[in-house]
Amino acid sequence: MKFKILVLSLLMSMPLFAQDYILDSITPKYGHLINFEANTFQYASESPYFKKLFNDLDSVYAGKKKNIHVFHIGGSHIQADIYSNKIRTYLQNMNDVSLGQRGFVYPYHLAHTNNPTNYRIEADKSQWQGYRCSVRKDSVAWGLSGVSAAFRGTEDKIYVKANYRNYTKKPYTFNKLRVFYNTWKEDYNLNISDSTLVSSDTINYDGMYKEYRFNRTVDSVTLDLKIKDSTSVSPEFLLMGMEFMNDDPGIEYTTIGVNGASFYWYERAAYFEKQLQLYKPDLFIISIGTNDAYMPKKDFNAEEFRAYYESFIQMIQRANPECAILLTVPNDDYYKRSYANPNTATQQSIILELTRKYKMAVWDLYSIMGGLGSSNNWYKAKLMPSDRIHFTNLGYSIKADLFIKALVDAWAESTGKDKTLLLKHFKNLDE
């Protein structure tokens, strides 16, 4: 969708909402737009994978040190990292042991596209060229992020900050940094500017990253990128992502988002699965689908969508057979601002079938919003912009709170906790 960049630019220029729980306060004004009965993690109570996940969350809630890694993948909703960052903040602010490492991020700024506001990675952008797996004319190597930024100049400095406008009670810190890039080419030297900080560095050619270990914990570093031989023909440094790592247990929440991405486009990322295998996700949230169905009804291939979705589930299970996978039904949207998109209802049926087949859980945002045409009502209430695809910041904040409410309800049901008291804990995190 050609207008996505404009929409997201408008979103990012608006003031951000704080991370406080707003669902109660907005209900009198906007409650009629929301199907609260549909706001559940359907089938979670029947899933052995979610039972394990909720037991692990219970351990962290009780103050026990434990690692839980959440992945959340999607398109522009996730690249912007507005509502997903609010969910991340809820989970990582739970108590003193819940803040895990920041983990994998992508420097979207260097790829000339919108970057989440909660971290910053900057360089001389004029020397970098961005490539997204969702852009048909782009053709480079992509990994887990689905975005790559190419540097073909002589030298540059990359300024890395793990914290910017984030809402965690404690700042993110790291004593290890991974830089993912095309390790099969050795045209450039990549070093930490402050050499006294580095205790060791190693290159993992199979995982396609260089890992720096530091002798102290930091929240920012500067990298020097410099060509080895100025006479090299067609030199290229292809940046695929970074990872802020430390030794602290807790909840880690990784987002993977590419504007305009669908299952088809993510399949172009040849090294996606290879890099996913570096991790063992405990919860994987699939929020892909809007772009798969953004077309006239006659052009939507339901069986192709089912095959892509099922293949993606199986890839996650290869990374971790015990992973809890949350399938999400896309929000209602309008096709080219002209009419409500009927393809989402077809996606809903397929996603519910796959949820039952793989004994996972589903969060049905389509039904929560009110089904076909409901995005127009959300737009009239200023919860979506005129494209009726994305959300305003208030809309995203509501979306995050609906998600955390559904998560807490399913968690409470699985572990026998009082869901009112458990939700109250999250409501009061900012106090």
pTM for the structure as a whole: 0.95
CB atoms within 10 A of CB 411: 22
Q: What is the pLDDT of residues 107-127, one digit of tens each?
A: 999 999 999 999 999 999 999
Residue 10, beta-bridge partner list: none
Res 9: pLDDT: 41
Res 10: pLDDT: 39
Residue ranges of the alpha helices (H) in 149-288? 263-266, 272-276
Which CA distances in Å does 97 have to 92, 169, 188, 404, 425? Answer: 8, 12, 39, 19, 15
Res 207: pLDDT: 95
Torsion sign across C-alpha atoms 46, 39, 260, 236:
negative
How many contiguous H segments (helices) and E segments (strands) does the chain have?
13, 19
Res 431: pLDDT: 58
pLDDT average per 10 residues of sequence, the chain (431 residues): 40 51 97 98 98 98 98 97 97 97 98 97 98 96 97 98 94 98 97 98 97 98 97 96 97 98 96 96 97 97 98 98 98 96 98 98 98 98 97 97 98 97 94 58
Q: How far apart are CA 235 and CA 361, in angstroms?
A: 46
Res 19: pLDDT: 74
Contact (Cβ atoms closer than 8 angstroms) between residue 189 and residue 226:
yes
Which CA distances in Å does 364 have to 124, 186, 190, 369? Answer: 42, 46, 45, 9
